[in-house]
Amino acid sequence: EAQVTQNPRYLITVTGKKLTVTCSQNMNHEYMSWYRQDPGLGLRQIYYSMNVEVTDKGDVPEGYKVSRKEKRNFPLILESPSPNQTSLYFCASSLLGTSGRERNEQFFGPGTRLTVL
Partner 1 sequence: EDKVVQSPLSLVVHEGDTVTLNCSYEVTNFRSLLWYKQEKKAPTFLFMLTSSGIEKKSGRLSSILDKKELFSILNITATQTGDSAVYLCAVVVQDTGTASKLTFGTGTRLQVTL
Instruction: Give the footprint of partner 1 on this chain (CB under 8 A).
Output: 31, 33, 35, 40-45, 48, 50, 54, 56, 58-59, 90, 96, 99-102, 104-111
Residue 60: CB minimum distance to partner 1, A? 11
The least CB distance from residue 69 to partner 1, in Å, is: 19
- Residue 29 CA to residue 27 CA, distance in Å, equals 5
End-to-end CA distance of the chain: 36
* Angle CA 95–97–102, to nearest 5: 55
Residue 11 vs 50, nearer CB to partner 1: 50
Closer to partner 1 by Cβ: residue 62 or 105: 105
Cis peptide before 8 (omega within 30 of 0): yes
Residue closer to partner 1 by CB (options 2, 14) is 2
* 8 A C-beta contact, residue 63 and residue 34: no
Kindly state the smallest distance separating residue 91's Cβ from partner 1, in Å: 9
What is the Cα–Cα distance from 117 to 114, expressed in whole angstroms? Answer: 10
Q: Which is nearer to partner 1, 54 or 117 (CB)?
A: 54
